Amino acid sequence: AQSVSQHNHHVILSEAASLELGCNYSYGGTVNLFWYVQYPGQHLQLLLKYFSGDPLVKGIKGFEAEFIKSKFSFNLRKPSVQWSDTAEYFCAVKPHNNNDMRFGAGTRLTVKP
């Protein structure tokens, strides 16, 4: 069965540090990939998505993610985090041929001011 792995459960960084959150999935077919963010007390919202084309995807708030097909990875990056980036981040994968959208367990990011 397909699965999504987020290896870091909790990441703590200081402001201005660089961020990379790992996401790996197990599915052999064509997929669409997503990163969602949940700020404290708010709903899940879309950060960015990979649909097709350029594997380097830019999203809101300076985030980007790179799809590496050979590694089944879609890591999220930001060169310089801010205190306001403190949130929980979820990676999600949707196979092209069905509706089953799979989410990772999430990574909690704490940015210290």
Partner 1 sequence: GAGVSQSPSNKVTEKGKDVELRCDPISGHTALYWYRQSLGQGLEFLIYFQGNSAPDKSGLPSDRFSAERTGGSVSTLTIQRTQQEDSAVYLCASSLLAPPLAEQYFGPGTRLTVT
Binding site for partner 1 (CB under 8 A): 4, 6, 32, 34, 36, 43-46, 49, 51, 90, 92, 94, 98-106
Report the nearest approach of partner 1 to the CB of residue 112 (Å). Answer: 23
Q: What is the distance between the alpha carbons of residues 80 and 63, in angstroms, rounded to a whole number?
A: 10
Is 31 or 81 the residue whose CB approaches partner 1 more closely?
A: 31
Q: List, in sequence order, every residue forming a beta bridge with 26; answer none if it has no partner.
A: 3
Report the nearest approach of partner 1 to the CB of residue 12 (Å). Answer: 18
Is 43 or 113 the residue whose CB approaches partner 1 more closely?
A: 43
Report the nearest approach of partner 1 to the CB of residue 22 (Å). Answer: 14
| Tokens 């077919």, residue located | 29
Instruction: State phi, psi for 25 to the nearest 5 degrees.
Output: -135, 160
Contacts with 29 (C-beta within 8 Å, 6 or more apart), sequence order: 95, 96, 97
